[in-house]
Amino acid sequence: MMIKRMLTVMVALVLVVSTTHAVRAQQDAADILRTLQFQSGTISLGANLAQLKLNDNFRFLNNADTQTFLTRIWGNPPGAGRNALGMIVPVDMSSSDDSNWAALVSYDPSGYVSDEEAGKIDYDELMADMKKAVAEASKERVQHGHEKLELLGWAKKPFYDAKEKKMYWAKRLRFGDAAEEALNYEIRILGRKGVLDLNVVASMNSLPSIDQRVGAILSMVEFNKGNTYAEFNPSVDQAAAYGLAGLVAGGVLTKAGFFKGLIALLFASKKLLGLTLIGGGAAIWGAFKALFRRKSPPAASSNE
């Protein structure tokens, strides 16, 4: 009987310590969250590269705050988001973390992507090729001690707006033996010398929320004059080594090694945008909600 009482006390002490640590971690994250500058209004991206005109449903974090958010709130390894222009965050994230998401914004200066093949691409065939490439890359990842990655198919087939030079699609992924599928929702804005990338990795529960917002997000992002797609000059500007199919495939069709780099990014992004963000603790969630109950700050700009 004495041993049973001692075991009961020991278990209780472990629970108390674990709970205390969890609450402390949540409070620490909430304190960090309050230090971030969530910007609104018109945001300058890069060195006069493009601009982001946020509506009232979104806020923006610059590069430094994005790195802090990714590493200290979402628990990514140091350096996550280092090359990003920033991150777009919906203001109405719920206390349930299974449908939350945010979009990491970056720029790929690999050149002008020709859209001559638009309307001619067999996306089912492209998906089959991509699955094979992912399967091969996944074998190498497993050999290096990482969990496997499986490309399951389209969550949304690619759509290209030829007038606006904007494109989006979504892929279904599975990490390791997880029962839950991951969602990789990708948005691209084509420019004169490269492409603006907006990448979201989340659970499949986020798909309806992102679908409802994708039009608004696309309308908010534009290249500045001098960088627009229509201003491409073949005599002085570099063309990308791939077209729309290669853009969707992550360059696997034409750029050796690039796709494996993408797989590495997705692996890192499992937690980066796997969205263990706010729902894990009431303290964190309360801090996030409090940020947007305040009077909206004046429009800010972010120059990386």
Distance of alpha carbon 89 from alpha carbon 102, whole angstroms: 5
Q: In the chain, count of helices (H) and strands (E)?
A: 7, 10
Most confidently predicted of 113-117, 276-280, 298-302: 113-117
Residue 144 forms part of a structural domain: yes
Residue 183 forms part of a structural domain: yes
Of how many residues is the chain composed?
304
Grade residue 13 by pLDDT with cuts at 50, 70 and 90. very low
Residue 52 forms part of a structural domain: no
What per-residue confidence (pLDDT) applies to 293? 58
Name the domain count of the chain. Answer: 1
Contacts of 51 (CB under 8 A, 6+ apart): 42, 43, 44, 45, 221, 222, 224
Contacts of 120 (CB under 8 A, 6+ apart): none
Q: Is the pLDDT of residue 268 over 80?
A: no
Residue 237 forms part of a structural domain: yes
Residue 268 forms part of a structural domain: yes
Distance of alpha carbon 210 from alpha carbon 232, whole angstroms: 31
Q: Is the pLDDT of residue 186 over 80?
A: yes
Residue 197 forms part of a structural domain: yes
Residue 33 forms part of a structural domain: no
Residue ranges of alpha helices (H) inside 36-150 are: 63-68, 123-143
What per-residue confidence (pLDDT) applies to 253? 40
Beta bridge partners of residue 221, listed in sequence order: 52
Grade residue 94 by pLDDT with cuts at 50, 70 and 90. low
pTM of this structure: 0.77
Tokens in use for 58?
Answer: 């979104």
Distance of alpha carbon 240 from alpha carbon 194, whole angstroms: 8
Residue 76 forms part of a structural domain: no
What per-residue confidence (pLDDT) applies to 27? 62
Where in the sequence is the domain holding 189, given as residue range(s)?
92-275
